[in-house]
Amino acid sequence: MIQTQTLQFNIFTVLFRSFLVIFIAGILMYVFFVYTATMNIVHRKSLEKQIITTTVNVSNLEHAYIKLRTAITPLFAESLDFTEPQNIIFAQYDTRQDLAKITN
Distance CA 13, CA 19 (A): 10
Residue-wise pLDDT tens digits, 10-55:
888 889 999 999 999 999 999 999 999 999 999 999 999 999 999 9
Domain positions in the chain are: 2-101
Q: What is the pLDDT of residues 62-100, one digit of tens each?
A: 999 999 888 888 888 888 888 877 777 777 766 666 555
Give the separation between CA 79 and CA 8, rounded to whole angstroms: 102
Listed in sequence order, the DSSP H helices in the chain are 2-71, 74-79, 95-101
Look at residue 104 and give its three-state secondary structure.
Answer: coil
Those residues whose C-beta lies under 8 Å from the C-beta of residue 84, and which sit 6 or more positions away, are 74
Whole-prediction pTM value? 0.50
Q: Is 34 exposed, middle or buried (0-12, 13-18, 19+ CB in 10 A)?
A: exposed
DSSP 8-state assignment for residue 81: T
